[in-house]
Amino acid sequence: MDSNPLFPPSSTREEESPRIAMSHSSTTDIVLHIGFHKTGSSALQNYLFSQGNFSRPYDTIFPTCTWLNNADLAWVCIGRRFEWQDRDYNLEDVASHYRSAVERSIARNRRTVISSEEFCRLNEHYHQSFFVRLGKALPIDNVKVLAYIRDPLDFLVSRYCHEVLYSESRSFEDFVSGEISTSDFCIRLKPWLDFFGPDRAIIREFKGGDFSIVDDFNDQFGVPGIATASETFVHRRIGAGANFAIAEALALINASVKEQKLRETLRNRLLALEFRALAKTEVRAAALDALANSVKDELGLLAQRQQDYLLPRGNPTPLQTG
């Protein structure tokens, strides 16, 4: 894999939703994956990272990065310091690293994949300078955007079940009321689509359950007739949340128990108990039952709008080996 240098520390118009078509890809594309949370992003990054600079089933380079994903590039392009960063990054050093990796990838007729959850923060911190900075690291004309989006209700349920494992203390109803805007993927994608246009966007649906983002990715970019690398990759859920049946009980513990050690002990004891796993239909029914009719209607409208961003599976140009 490409070596990652030690970076020295450094002292938006309303319109109808566009119809997004599947883009046809070439071998020298740069696929920039906007890793929305709770859509399998970590699983895809874990797979790409485990493969390294592999030549089969497709000639693809996943540039080395400081974490499991390419968060460093997202951070320097956004241009602000987030509290969860491991350290400061310098734009010129980070851009030089990715520019060199992409140049080597293009010279070898390979596709480059860039992936990070941090790119999804662009809608919160949008400014034109983001794309100016991105252009210092990547040849913009080669970039195609890939994103997986999810049913709004399923997304909020998944987020809630994950966050009650830590500090979330609101009821599910209050959580949805405060976080419903995060499930509006149409708005969250808007800066990207405004800049790159629908012809350079690949928008896929993350369906949850047994859906494999790794297999779907390979379906889009794999070479026909060759067994995919995912067949030897150990699939596992990453960042799985609590059973929805006990999620509000965990939130109540978070809200009422102030001492951290005791709070963690009570959470772990509750999680250790065996509860029947709820089917997806049961989870959706229970989640909807907790919400006011106006919130249900809003989620329904978001889901309906979202369908305009999804088309049946396209047919990207496959990579050829040899």
Which CATH number is associated with domain 30-151+184-239?
3.40.50
Degrees, nearest 5: CA angle 41-43-45: 70
pLDDT at 133: 96
CA distance 232 to 212: 14
Based on C-alpha coordinates, what's the Rg of the chain?
21
d(C-alpha 160, C-alpha 37), whole Å = 12
**Nearest to residue 89, comparing CAs of 71, 102, 114, 113?**
71
**Structure tokens belonging to residue 124:** 């919160």
Beta strand 201-205 with 30-34: parallel, antiparallel or unpaired? unpaired
> DSSP labels for 53-106?
S--SSS-EE----SSSS-HHHHHHHHTS--TT-SS---HHHHHHHHHHHHHHHH
Going by C-alpha positions, the residue among 34, 39, 23 that lies closest to residue 211 is 39
Q: Provide the greatest CA pair distance for the chain.
A: 62
For the chain, what are the domain ranges?
30-151+184-239
Cβ-based neighbours of 92, under 8 Å, separated by 6 or more: 136
- pLDDT string in tens for the chain (322-residue length): 333 332 233 333 333 333 333 333 556 789 999 999 999 999 888 888 776 654 344 456 677 665 668 999 999 999 989 999 989 999 999 999 999 989 988 888 888 889 999 999 987 777 789 999 999 999 999 999 999 999 999 999 999 999 999 999 999 999 999 999 999 999 999 999 999 998 899 999 998 878 889 888 888 776 443 344 444 444 555 557 899 999 999 999 999 999 999 999 999 999 999 888 889 999 999 999 999 999 999 999 999 999 888 854 343 443 333 3
C-alpha–C-alpha distance, residues 139 and 229, integer Å? 28
Show the CA angle centred on residue 28, arms to residues 24 and 33, nearest 5°: 70
Model-wide pTM > 0.85: no
CA distance 196 to 238: 30
Residue 201: the pLDDT is: 92
